[in-house]
Amino acid sequence: GAVVSQHPSWVICKSGTSVKIECRSLDFQATTMFWYRQFPKQSLMLMATSNEGSKATYEQGVEKDKFLINHASLTLSTLTVTSAHPEDSSFYICSARVPGRKAFFGQGTRLTVV
C-alpha cells in the first residue's frame, strides 16, 4: 500500500532555533499533503494543507510565518517551525491523500523545544 515517510521521528532543539520536518510519499504522487499537530490526549488538529507548486492553505489560528510549508515536488512537503519556543513542543504528523479516498499518515515527529 501507499506509504508516507516522515523525518525525523523526534527532535530536540533550543528555543529560538528553527526545525525542518520532511514528509515524503514513497510510492505515489501527492498533489496535496496535510500537516497536523497533536497535543497530549487531544485530537489531531489540521494546521495547513500543502499544495504542490502553490502556497499552503493555513487553518484559522495557525501562524503561517511561524510554520513554513513548502511542497516543492509531488513527493515531498516540508514543515519548518521557525524560532521555536517551548509551547511549540508537540507531535506533528503529515498525511497525503491518495487520489480517491484514503489518507496515509507519516510516522509523526515529536518536537521538544528546550
Partner 1 sequence: DQQVKQNSPSLSVQEGRISILNCDYTNSMFDYFLWYKKYPAEGPTFLISISSIKDKNEDGRFTVFLNKSAKHLSLHIVPSQPGDSAVYFCAASAQGGSEKLVFGKGTKLTVNP
Site of interaction with partner 1 (CB under 8 A): 4, 6, 9-10, 34, 36, 41-46, 49, 91, 93, 95, 97, 100-108, 110
Name which of 5 and 82 has its Cβ closer to partner 1.
5
Is the separation of the CB atoms in 15 and 85 below 8 Å? Answer: yes
Q: Least separation, in Å, of the C-beta of 98 and partner 1?
A: 10
Name which of 88 and 106 has its Cβ closer to partner 1.
106
Q: Least separation, in Å, of the C-beta of 43 and partner 1?
A: 4
Which has the closest alpha carbon to 48: 30, 60, 37, 34? Answer: 34
The CA distance from 95 to 114, in Å, is 27
The CA distance from 23 to 33, in Å, is 8
Q: Least separation, in Å, of the C-beta of 68 and partner 1?
A: 19
Name which of 13 and 82 has its Cβ closer to partner 1.
13
Return the amino acid letter for 92. Answer: Y
Name which of 76 and 108 has its Cβ closer to partner 1.
108
Is the separation of the CB atoms in 2 and 24 below 8 Å? Answer: no
Q: What are phi and psi of 63, to 5 degrees?
A: -80, 115
Q: Least separation, in Å, of the C-beta of 100 and partner 1?
A: 7
